[in-house]
Amino acid sequence: NTAPTNKTTIQAPSSPSNTSNSSRDTEPVQNEEPLLLDANNLPTRGEYYTARVTKPLLGAIFSSGQELRNTLYSSASDRIVDAIGDRPVVSFTIDGSAADTAGIQLGHVLIKVNGEEVMSTDDAVKMVGKSPRPLKMEMYIPPDVKVVKTEGQYMVKYDSNSTEAPSTCTEWKPKYVVAGDMLGKPHMLYMYRSKAEYDIAVKEAQIPGKVLSVKVKQFDIRGARILNETGQVRYPGKGTWYYFTVVRSFGLPIKISATRPEDLTPVYDGIMAFLERESKRRMDAAAERRERYTASYSAETYY
């Protein structure tokens, strides 16, 4: 990777010479090679760089690596996400902000601020806000991670009982759709009038007690299922539209469409990642209940 002119690439730190495990290993999974970690306990082969910020407002939001497992980091292996853990990861940047200008991008991990180590999102907020400028931010780019944004501009329909596409294109509404956004509710599907209004909502959500000045529709997708995964509809003069339907456990179904099937991938993947994680939690909970019941049953004494 070529570093932007306003950030300096630095060497990944090596472990101190008096440390025997200079590259620490995590438990291998089946036939996978052990994940080697550097002196920061982060995967080797990642890139480190230092960004310089002079403006008071950074224009970025941090979330823990664990919180981004099924959104921005959905392409990353569990081992890499576990290694990043609760460290602060850039989960949102404002276009044209100081962070954007400094080359700080989504998915990058904050390691140090003015030479002081940062281990959590709370630390990141406090230190970035209070530290004197110019601000030197040491960042880390994880290896083998393709950052996935589970959002995009779509045409939607959510006000009818039908799971099929409407008969006319005028029945669709344009919305900026976000699956599990920075407002902290992964089970919600958010719809804004535009990307600009989504940016405003995220910024305002960081201000305690601030009431959002933009309109947003929220749909709970817990217990939902997906229909029409390869749905298509053709409108005169508009060509073919592609869509899928989110059938919720309560409320009307939601149809989401685009003029190219690949454009649906980000939000579709975001929704499916949550539903799969929710299904796994339910199965794990059921298995735990069965184990407790079996243990209790076997412990009984009969006369």
Strand 7-10 to strand 47-53: parallel, antiparallel, or no bridges (unpaired)? antiparallel
Strand ranges in the chain using DSSP code E only, listed in sequence order: 7-10, 24-25, 36-37, 47-53, 60-64, 88-93, 109-113, 116-117, 135-141, 151-157, 173-179, 188-192, 216-220, 225-235, 239-247, 254-258
- Tokens 């709370």: give the residue: 122
- The residues near 19 (Cβ < 8 Å, ≥ 6 apart) are 39
- Torsions phi, psi of 123, nearest 5? -60, -45
Cα 133 to Cα 203: distance, rounded to the nearest angstrom: 21
Q: What angle do CA 209, 212, 214 make, to 5 degrees?
A: 170
- Asked if the peptide bond before residue 134 counts as cis, ω within 30 degrees of 0, the response is yes
Cα 106 to Cα 115: distance, rounded to the nearest angstrom: 22
**What's the pLDDT score for residue 30?**
54
Per-residue CA distances from 154 to 128, 132, 179, 191, 268 (Å): 35, 42, 12, 10, 12
Cα 72 to Cα 242: distance, rounded to the nearest angstrom: 24
pLDDT in tens, the chain (303 residues): 434 434 444 444 444 333 333 333 444 445 668 899 999 999 999 999 999 999 999 989 999 998 888 788 888 999 999 999 999 999 989 888 999 999 999 999 999 999 999 999 999 999 999 999 999 999 999 999 999 888 999 999 999 999 999 999 999 999 999 997 655 577 899 999 999 999 888 888 777 788 999 999 999 999 999 999 999 999 999 999 999 999 999 999 999 999 999 999 999 988 998 898 889 888 988 888 888 888 776 665 555
Per-residue CA distances from 96 to 60, 170, 232 (Å): 11, 34, 37
**What's the pLDDT score for residue 172?**
98
**What's the pLDDT score for residue 149?**
86
- The residues near 198 (Cβ < 8 Å, ≥ 6 apart) are 151, 176, 178, 181, 190, 192, 214
**What's the pLDDT score for residue 288?**
87
Summarize pLDDT for 145-181 with one digit per residue, the tens.
999 888 999 999 999 999 999 999 999 999 999 997 6
